[in-house]
Amino acid sequence: MAKGERILVIDDDDRVREALSNLLKSWDYNVDVACNGTEGWAKIVSTHPVVVISDLRMPEPGGLQLLKQTRELNSGVYFIVLSGHGSIQTAVEATKLGAYSFLEKPVDPGRLQIELRNCLDRHESERQLQIAHRRLRDMGALGKFVGRSKGMQEIMSLITMVAPSSASVLITGASGTGKEIVARTIHELSPCRGHSFVAVNCAAIPETLIESELFGHEKGSFTGAVESRMGCFELADGGTLLLDEVGEMPAPTQVKLLRVLEESKVRRIGAKAEIPVSVRVLAATNRVPEDAIKAGKLRSDLYYRLNVIRINIPPLREHLEDLDDLCSHLIADLCRKHNRPLKTIDPEALMLMRRHTWPGNVRELRNTIERALLVSHSEMITAKDLPAVLNASYSAGNNSDNSRIEVGLTLDEAEYRLILQTLASTNNNRTRAAQILGITTKTLYNKLKRQ
């Protein structure tokens, strides 16, 4: 626990005040003293100590009165009450009034030390949480993670809650819902933000290479291993590793992965020595993990290790309230990316967007906006800049089946629709969808990203 925290001791008994002050100084705290309630109150207000240790019985205002006033300040000060006349009754009263703890005189230094450490620990975690909240708010203003709907707000508070810890988080949600952006936001708000964020997509890497990708390899350990390479765990050391599409990982690799997670040590392929690594692990999947377990794709022991905290992102059609905000954010972002002056969007185009069901979620929205920005010649995106599928679903008066492939679509759009439809029909199982489409999972993955 960080020492040097400000502690205020209030006692009208000189000896007690001196003794406590010396003791706390010897523990490297930054100590201030007050010899009565009035002086104590003035110092609480002006110096904002982290902890107040106050005598109970003093000329007015007494300890309980001070405690009451301090609680009313609502400044998060921890209050430890001391009394030479300790009775259960006053202890109960002090606790009711919000005292952190109650110590009897003469003070037992060991207990005082424990109480202080506990409340300073609590103070520190509250501080981290606040820092995280602020950063998230600022990042929101910068336009990173967008969403004011109830569902998105819940996700934001989950993110701020889990970010400061080192707990594993499993992020679930359909394709393009924002799993990676959630993972990056957790990293950005965590104590390891200064270190690297590494994302490895288990579905996009051929099975024969996945272990080398994750754990690294030594030169000559297999054909093609012409030189030694670090794996993702080493690359992410001190930072965050996102295991994307974790359900697509081959079973033997899952066993090895679990061991690395348990032991915080990694052995490169072909190496003798194990390398200690300190990595915050996040995992994402666009499948329902419980189904993947039932289907024998995901090992349950690995799942339990990863699923300490679960963040499930709803599909875009379930938080369409965020559509306007998302549009503004994406337009600004994409105009910057393409070096174009900022465009607006006309109400009719927005209405068409609200009618669409967005099977490809926020990624589809982003692609739609990007395409519209590039084809529109005016300062405003209008309905005619939107892909046929949005217009078609509107003119047909049909707002549910907008994944149909019909004349008016470009080949690229038709391909994208077909991929999304196939994914939907396989419950987002990319391996299965790739089989049906007659392409490799890697190709499917690349096609989705390219869109």
User: Of residues 90, 177, 190, 368, which one binds ligand ATP by CB under 6 A?
Assistant: 177
In the set 164, 173, 314, 387, which binds ligand ATP (CB under 6 A)?
Answer: 173
Which window, 13-21, 173-181, 188-196, 434-442, contacts ligand ATP (CB under 6 A)? 173-181
Give the one entry of Mg ion, ligand ATP, none that residue 363 binds, where binding means its C-beta sits below a cut-off of 5 to 8 angstroms depending on kind.
Answer: ligand ATP
Contacts by 316-319, CB closer than 8 A, 24 or more apart: 316/176, 316/177, 316/358, 316/361, 316/362, 316/364, 316/365, 317/357, 317/358, 318/151, 319/147, 319/149, 319/151, 319/152
Give dist(CA 82, CA 436) in Å, integer: 73
Taking the least distance from each CB to Mg ion, the nearer of 168 and 172 is: 172
The residue among 24 and 326 lying less far from ligand ATP, judged by its C-beta, is 326
Q: How far lies 223's CA from each of 218, 229, 252, 273, 407, in Å? A: 11, 14, 20, 21, 49
Q: Residue 135 binds what, of Mg ion, ligand ATP, none (CB under 5 to 8 Å, by partner type)? A: none
| Burial of 74: CB neighbours in 10 Å, binned 0-12, 13-18, 19+ | exposed
Residue written as token pair 């703890």: 101
Question: Which of 128/149 has CB closer to ligand ATP?
Answer: 149
Residue 245 binds Mg ion, judged by CB under 5 A: no
CA 429 to chain centre: 25
Please report, as residue ranges, which positions from 326 to 355 form the binding site for ligand ATP (by CB under 6 A): 329
Nearest residue (beta carbon) to Mg ion: 180
Would you say 280 or 366 has its CB closer to ligand ATP? Answer: 366
Ranges within 102-161 binding ligand ATP (CB under 6 A): 145-147
**376 lies in the site for ligand ATP, by CB under 6 A:** no
- Long-range contacts from 251-260, C-beta under 8 angstroms, 24+ separation: 251/299, 253/207, 253/210, 253/211, 253/214, 254/298, 254/299, 254/302, 255/299, 255/302, 256/211, 256/214, 256/215, 257/214, 257/302, 258/299, 258/301, 258/302, 258/305, 260/214, 260/215, 260/233
Nearer to ligand ATP, 217 or 343 (CB): 343
Specify burial of residue 109 (Cβ count, 10 A radius: 0-12, 13-18, 19+): middle
- 367 binding ligand ATP? (CB under 6 A): no
Which does residue 178 touch among Mg ion, ligand ATP, none (CB within 5 to 8 A, set by kind)? ligand ATP
C-alpha 83/C-alpha 48 separation (Å) is 23
- The DSSP bridge pattern shows strands 229-230 and 216-217 to be antiparallel
Shortest spacing between CB 417 and ligand ATP, in angstroms: 16
Among 5, 55, 115, 180, binds Mg ion (CB under 5 A): 180
- What part of residues 262-291 is at the interface with ligand ATP (CB under 6 A)? 286
Number of residues that bind ligand ATP (CB under 6 A): 17
- Piece in contact with ligand ATP (CB under 6 A), picked from 9-17, 179-187, 224-232, 416-424: 179-187
Q: Of 187, 229, 366, 371, which one interacts with ligand ATP (CB under 6 A)?
A: 366
Specify the stretch interacting with ligand ATP by CB under 6 A; choose among 99-107, 175-183, 401-409, 434-442: 175-183
Would you tell me which residues interact with ligand ATP (CB under 6 A)? 145-147, 173, 175-181, 286, 329, 362-363, 366, 448
**Interface with Mg ion by CB under 5 A: which residues?**
179-180
